[in-house]
Amino acid sequence: MSEDRGAAFFDLDKTLIEGSSGVHFARAAYRSGMIGRRELLGDLWANVRFRLEGSTDAASEDIRDRILDAIAGIPVKELQRLSPGVLAGVLPRIYPEVLRTAYDHQDAGRPAFIVTAASHEMAELMAHVLVLDGGIGTRSKVINGVYTGEPDGPFTYRSGKAQAIVGVAAERGIDLLASYAYSDSESDLPMLEAVGHPVAVNPDTELERIARERGWRIMRFDQLRRRLRIAAAAAGIGIVGGGGGYLAGRLREGGSRTLLRLLRS
């Protein structure tokens, strides 16, 4: 690859796919017996909040820590076997407009990468299935084919994402000024600012403000009706109080059934 060749970097959740990939991993893990109902409901509720409010630093750090704790002592192969279930949930939620954009970049000679705070395995799996050029995600340390529960490198979130793409660019001779980055969230501002052509996709309020001020391209096609359905269901769930654990309060049984039905759609 010549040194003046650009690339395209795509965030995963709410950019390449509708909603969060993590909830589909949670479903697959629940079906396999790896996590319980309480953990599943926590991840479903986190997905609802993510769809409505976008990512937050605290929530993303919490999810990373929970995932590392959950996979400690689990063989890599056991997680790999969840892939069919994860893909069954994720693939129908891909935004075709964004995937087409990725393919257009490839056709123009720019490799296309998925960059996500989710696991590196998830990023590579999605990149492989979608015929993209690579996945970049959060790595977990593995010893003798088993996850230790410890991170193996930076958390690919905020400045960590920018650090990751700078590393890939250095390895592959990619010119970041000639490159493109796509994201929905203000949290990805470091990644967007690291390239010459940032693009806001279904942006949250803060990213949309920044994009308009700086004249960045904005792509918007999130399904408003689905967002309103989620908001209505969330309002009826009956969240009360703060509390710890996996839920931001206490879910009434009827509300949890509503949430499960909604997130299956």
In this structure, is residue 2 part of a structural domain? Answer: no
In this structure, is residue 194 part of a structural domain? Answer: yes
Tell me the helix, strand and coil percentages in the chain, rounded to 5. Answer: 55, 15, 30
In this structure, is residue 208 part of a structural domain? Answer: yes
> Exactly one of 13, 43, 184, 188 is catalytic; which is it?
13
Q: Is 13 a catalytic residue?
A: yes
> Exactly one of 4, 11, 65, 104 is catalytic; which is it?
11
Task: Return d(Cα 243, Cα 60) in angstroms, integer.
Answer: 18
Domain count, the chain: 1
Q: Is 11 a catalytic residue?
A: yes
Kindly report each contact of residues 34-37 with a partner whose C-beta sits within 8 Å and lies 24 or more positions away, as own/partner.
34/70, 34/74, 34/78, 34/82, 35/70
pLDDT in tens, 116-126: 988 888 899 99
Q: Which residue has the higher pLDDT, 8 or 255?
A: 8
pLDDT in tens, 61-103: 666 676 677 678 889 898 889 899 989 999 999 999 999 999 9
N- to C-terminal Cα separation, the chain: 43
With cut-offs at 50, 70 and 90, classify the pLDDT of residue 58: low
Is 0.85 surpassed by the pTM of this model? no
Residues 6+ apart with CB under 8 A from 92: none
Burial class (CB in 10 A: 0-12, 13-18, 19+), 139: middle
The CATH number given to whatever domain includes residue 27 is: 3.40.50.1000
Which domain range does residue 136 map to? 8-264
With cut-offs at 50, 70 and 90, classify the pLDDT of residue 182: very high
In this structure, is residue 25 part of a structural domain? Answer: yes
In this structure, is residue 1 part of a structural domain? Answer: no
